[in-house]
Amino acid sequence: MTDNILWDAIENRRSIYAIDDKISQSTQDIKQLVDFAVMHVPSAFNNQTTRTVLLVGAEHHKLWDMTKEILRKIVPADKFVETEEKIDICFRAGYGTVLFFIDESVNQEWQAKFPSYAENFPVWAHHSSGMHQFAVWTMLEELGLGATLQHYNPLIDQVVQEEWKLDKNWRLIAQMPFGRPVAAAGPKEFVPIEKRSLLFE
């Protein structure tokens, strides 16, 4: 069962921090990939809470420039050079960024429909968002692209919402900068599988 494209993509999906913008795919190729995940990744009650925004080119640069300026105000000056370098080399240098959101209005609608499950809908929405993130990340890997998952929310929530005039019910969950890998990920350590996965028969 190991000769499987999906298995290979899942195994090879890593946090790739050294990226550039010289990808062979088109923006439409990437948009099609993201749209596929948004359409087909499952959600509780099929309530489809995940929302995405794809930023490329100048819009992608704008996101990380705004993030730097926000961090400049809160990171000590002697530490900011390191912060700026990380953002420029690991995130801004890529081709684009996928932003992942949860539409809270959908959660509220389903909480009203099924009050006995009200506490669960936000949790389930995060489950679905995580699956969307994993699906997009794995498909990017299958295309030969590298990505990481970042969480500068809630620091950047307001500027993102205002800059791209997004629905106020969309809550930012994660940012996924991606591009052509220019260096491989380092070795990955694993907790013994026997401690993490059990079988009873």
DSSP state of 193: G
Alpha carbon distance 163, 144 (integer Å): 31
> What are the CA-CA distances from residue 49 to residues 45, 110, 129, 138 (Å)?
10, 10, 8, 20
Please state at what angle helix 120-142 crosses helix 5-12, rounded to 10 degrees.
100
The residue ranges of every structural domain in the chain are: 5-178
How many percent of the chain have pLDDT more than 90?
97
Is the separation of the CB atoms in 132 and 173 below 8 Å?
Answer: no
Q: What is the pLDDT of residues 48-72, one digit of tens each?
A: 999 999 999 999 999 999 999 999 9
DSSP H or E stretch at residue 56: strand 50-56
> What are the CA-CA distances from residue 148 to residues 36, 56, 88 (Å)?
19, 16, 14
**The pTM is what?**
0.96
Fold of domain 5-178 = NADH Oxidase (3.40.109)
Is the separation of the CB atoms in 107 and 49 below 8 Å?
Answer: yes
SS3 call for 99 = strand
Q: What is the pLDDT of residues 85-126, one digit of tens each?
A: 999 999 999 999 999 999 999 999 999 999 999 999 999 999
